[in-house]
Structure 1
Amino acid sequence: MEGNRVLKARMAESGLTQTELAEAVNADLRAAGYDGTVSDRTVRNWLTGKTGWPHHRQRAALEAVFNCPVTELGFAPRGDSSRTAPPEDPVHRRRFVSASAGAALAASAASAYGEQRRVGVGDVQRLLSKFAFVIASDHRYGGKLTIETQASALAGEAIALQARSTASQRVRGALYGCAASFTSSAMWAAIDGRRFDAAQRHFERAAGLAAMSGDSAIQFRIWSHAGSLYRHMGRPADALAANDVARRLPVSRRDPMFASLGHARHGAIHGLTGDARAVRQALGHAQDALQQADPNEQRPVWMTAFYDQAEWENLALAAYLSLGDYENAEAHAHRSLALLRPEMQRTRAITTTRLAQAQLGQGDLEPAVVTAMSIPAEPTGGHPRVTGMLHDFGNALRLTAPSSLHTRTWDEYTHDRQRNPLR
């Protein structure tokens, strides 16, 4: 039995271990209202080929995790075994955890759970504590499919809790806000992992949930993420339009911290357009607003967990790198790295990669290669954005100095790292 090589390859491509795939499948099962019973052994049976056609609920979960038909994961039905239970409609499954499923979900939840119970502030706080864990995982790893799936599952939990319970209007709004927050984290994980189609789908769900919550802070996060999504896709006009929605929200007028983030991200987007004056103006407004912000004001965990002077420097770095102003970019990179909090490992790897690109842009080959080689393999060296940026760095290095000793050093290093990825 040669095993399921296709599934093994897809797991490697997504950076999923057996344990992580089991957790991701279980998270999707729980979001759809089922028990999560997949274990490491289950995944091992899939990989060895012992189980060639998983249970229909597991097949639906696998399709949700990898965003493709299960037959594209190396599985194939044997005889009529696939007819023992009808496959779930993947569209219905997606709707289960989406904002548009409120009415259908309420009906199914009522029959499944019987008498409704009262939901209060404590239930909202319990969900928010899980949100803090998702934020922490994102800062450590970033972009992983498991983070995206876990966040989507928790959004489903918030929606399901609302559908099968009674609550005050205030608590219902907070539950919609929780669901929007989790979905926005799934959206960001997809952006960070370069899964842009999935990010767009999360955006559409998150925007609807946020509108029902009435919370302009989470609406800001979602539209600001949309601006980042379009910026990473190379669509600056759409990015500016989406970020403008965020900047016009009441929370941006009320709190200088939100205004600062909106301006800073606008500056990064303007870098793509080549408008140096607009970059300087937006970054200046962002810095002024950041200095006006009260550090003791209560803000959502997602904001306090990442936006500060270090992130402002990082967005300025991105803007000047896009402009080709490598000297200014390097200065911002050094300041950002000096200010970054220890837990911001994903951001540190991205900033270090940008620093290497800025040094290379100034013709400083040796420092650039040394900087690029300083990025540790774990836990962020295999991050999709870091990997793509280092690939671009290598191409630029070979174009700049194809016969250089530094180029040969870099090529040998990357070849060795591909053979020994954990070194």
Structure 2
Amino acid sequence: MDTQRNAIFENLLREYGYTHRGLAKDVNRVSGRIFGRPGAANDRDVRRWAAGKVRWPTARYLLPLVEIFDRPPQAMGFVPRGALSRLPVPPPRAAEWEEDDVRRRTFVVGSTATAVAVVLGLDETPVSGRLTFTDIGRINSAIGRLDAHFNAIGGGPLLTAATACITRLRDAVDGCTYGPGVEKALHSSISDLYSSAGWAAHDDGQGDLARLHHAAALQSTILADDKRGQARAWSNLALQARTEGRHREALQINRAALDSRQARQDPRIAALLHSRLAIGHARARDYRAAARSVLAAEAAHDRFDTAEPAPPWLKFLDAAEIAGLSAIAHRAMGCLPEAEVATAQALQLLAPNMRRNRAYYGVQLAELRLAQGDLAHARTAAAVVDTSALSSRHISDRLATIHRTLATA
């Protein structure tokens, strides 16, 4: 029977800078962590996957491939064959929820940069020798884990870890040798880390530091010639300007980001920018423009390609987040009932692992009910907000204000 080459898988190898032997080595390493013993893949196995001779690798290799490339098997070009080709479940000893619980306890109990960096693998970046695309892939995987834990626990303990990792990557810039492609990819990774650090600083109530990190993210992504990264950096700078009360500046930055080719081509970026633009228009009292931007964000969300995995930094942007951002815009327009409905919808749609956002929108729901004089339901909403596993000064301060207000009402 004729076989068809797996062009998608071959493109992934090129994108990540993998040789056949290099990928086999990483598959065996990850397989050892998942299954308790190293795999036995070699370059011949990788060639067979690329040639389409093996349409669905065995679990011992498929699960590591899913982790390395951060996408389901079909998105790597593999073709399932009946019930036996379902994605297998990892052994219980390596189940994702167990790892998350261990990491979460480490973050909550230990706040040092070293402890957090070790848990996320942020301390493994070489600072001397030859740097390759394989190293960049590992760096980006660690940054993706960092962003995932921000969504789970907030920014407090992640800020120190992110800034320590930025220092390590900047040391790698000066201490390693690499080609021009790796150089740009390294600056793109540094930009992503600066953006993550900026969000962590914002969540920790350190606005001045957040502004510096977001500005540095833009500088690094310009060096990387990374247009999508620039759209992200501009979006974060617009949010920072809005947080500081500079609403017209925020609008100008947001409009500039929306005019980029990336925003026109990527509906996820467009949805985020339109959502934040809606809030900016509302704060500037241009309510018609705010309403148009809310609709534009929802229309962009409807164009999401669910088969295409989102970049790690945009995984938070789903139907729940679109509803939540819409609620913030309606609140700024003074439409409190509509904002309350949208916030409740966001809470209903949120995934279980989005603990930080659940607490954020739980606080927002209590605030909206309090603003409408509904004290009983405001108490109910505030009572169920769980911040025990979070480290977010931004959220905890708002929740404390609600409790003080209710205590004197």
Scaled by the length of structure 1, the TM-score of the pair is 0.65
Query: Would you say 1:141 and 2:150 are equivalent positions?
Result: no
Give the Cα–Cα distance (whole angstroms) in 1 for the partners of residues 333 and 402 of structure 2: 16
8 Å CA contact 1:156, 1:179 repeated in 2:
no
Match of 1:231 among 233, 242, 247: 242
Query: Where does residue 19 of structure 1 map in the other structure?
Result: 110
Query: Where does residue 150 of structure 1 map in the other structure?
Result: 161
Instruction: Give the residue type in structure 1 aligned to 2:174.
Output: A
Query: Where does residue 370 of structure 1 map in the other structure?
Result: 380
Match of 2:289 among 258, 270, 278: 278
Query: Where does residue 390 of structure 1 map in the other structure?
Result: 399
CA RMSD of aligned residues (A): 2.6
Percent of residue pairs identical = 29
Give the Cα–Cα distance (whole angstroms) in 2 for the partners of residues 267 and 396 of structure 1: 29
Instruction: Give the residue type in structure 2 aligned to 1:316.
Output: S
Query: Where does residue 71 of structure 1 map in the other structure?
Result: none
Match of 2:177 among 166, 176, 187: 166
Query: Where does residue 360 of structure 2 map in the other structure?
Result: 350
8 Å CA contact 1:271, 1:318 repeated in 2:
no
The superposition leaves residues 128-186 of structure 1 with CA deviations (integer Å, 9 ceiling, x where unpaired) of: 11102211221112120x31121122222223223222222111111100011011100
Give the Cα–Cα distance (whole angstroms) in 1 for the partners of residues 181 and 250 of structure 2: 32
Query: Would you say 1:121 and 2:133 are equivalent positions?
Result: yes
Give the Cα–Cα distance (whole angstroms) in 1 for the partners of residues 405 and 112 of structure 2: 36
Map 1:296-335; keep pairs closer than 5 Å: 296-303=307-314, 305-335=315-345
Task: Give 1:395 shift.
Answer: 5.8
Match of 2:251 among 240, 246, 260: 240
Name the CA shift for 1:318/1:396 in 2 (closer, same or farther; >3 Å).
farther
Task: Give 1:246 shift.
Answer: 2.3
Name the CA shift for 1:346/1:18 in 2 (closer, same or farther; >3 Å).
closer
The superposition leaves residues 81-117 of structure 1 with CA deviations (integer Å, 9 ceiling, x where unpaired) of: xxxxxxxxxxxxxxxxxxxxxxxxxxxx8xxx5xxx3
Query: Would you say 1:214 and 2:225 are equivalent positions?
Result: yes
Give the Cα–Cα distance (whole angstroms) in 1 for the partners of residues 369 and 294 of structure 2: 22
The superposition leaves residues 214-243 of structure 1 with CA deviations (integer Å, 9 ceiling, x where unpaired) of: 111111221111111122222212221222
8 Å CA contact 2:117, 2:165 repeated in 1:
no
Give the Cα–Cα distance (whole angstroms) in 2 for the partners of residues 18 and 343 of structure 1: 19
**Aligned length, in residue pairs:** 299
For the residue of structure 2 that corresponds to 1:20, the secondary structure is: coil
Task: Give 1:327 shift.
Answer: 0.5
Structure 2 alignment gaps of length 5 or more: 1-106
Instruction: Give the residue type in structure 2 aligned to 1:128.
Output: N
Which deviates more from structure 2 when the two are superposed, residues 327-336 or residues 154-163?
Answer: 154-163
Name the CA shift for 1:124/1:374 in 2 (closer, same or farther; >3 Å).
same
Scaled by the length of structure 2, the TM-score of the pair is 0.68
Give the Cα–Cα distance (whole angstroms) in 1 for the partners of residues 369 and 340 of structure 2: 7
The superposition leaves residues 241-294 of structure 1 with CA deviations (integer Å, 9 ceiling, x where unpaired) of: 222232222210111121111101111222322332122111001111111222
Map 1:400-419; keep pairs closer than 5 Å: 402=408, 407=409
Task: Give 1:391 shift.
Answer: 3.8
For the residue of structure 2 that corresponds to 1:214, the secondary structure is: coil
Structure 1 alignment gaps of length 5 or more: 1-15, 37-108, 408-423
The superposition leaves residues 326-367 of structure 1 with CA deviations (integer Å, 9 ceiling, x where unpaired) of: 100111011101111111111000101111112222222101
For the residue of structure 2 that corresponds to 1:343, the secondary structure is: coil
